Amino acid sequence: MEAVSTFLDMGGYAATVWPAYGVTAVILVGLLVASLRALSRRKAELAALESQMERPRR
């Protein structure tokens, strides 16, 4: 337990180290998730459009 709290304390610089890693994680994970969601949204949109375009021709 003590090892864990020493680790979390970061030699008294917890307020520097953890927010830095936290902000980085939030920004990068956020960008990755947003990019993947945009990709799957556009895939669905394109599929819908293509099926709409096919129908009138038949």
Partner 1 sequence: MPNFLHSLASPARFQRIANAVLPWVSVLAAVLLGVGIVWGLVFSPPDYQQGDTVRVMYIHVPAAWMATFCYAVMALLSASFLIWKHQLADLAARAASPIGACFTAIALITGALWGKPTWGTWWVWDARLTSVLVLFFLYLGHMALSAAFDDRERGGRAAAILACVGAINLPIIKYSVEWWNTLHQGASVFRMDGPTIDNSMLWPLLLTVLGFNMLFVVLLLVRIKSELLARRIEVLQRARASGRG
Binding test (CB under 8 A) with partner 1, winner from 43, 54, 55, 58: 43
DSSP-based helix, strand, coil % in the chain, nearest 5: 95, 0, 5
Binding test (CB under 8 A) with partner 1, winner from 52, 54, 55, 58: 52
For residues 2 and 20, which CB has a smaller minimum distance to partner 1 in the complex? 20
Q: What's the min distance (Å) between Cβ of 6 and partner 1? A: 10
Pairwise CA distance, residues 40 & 34, whole Å? 10
Q: Does 10 bind partner 1 (CB under 8 A)?
A: yes
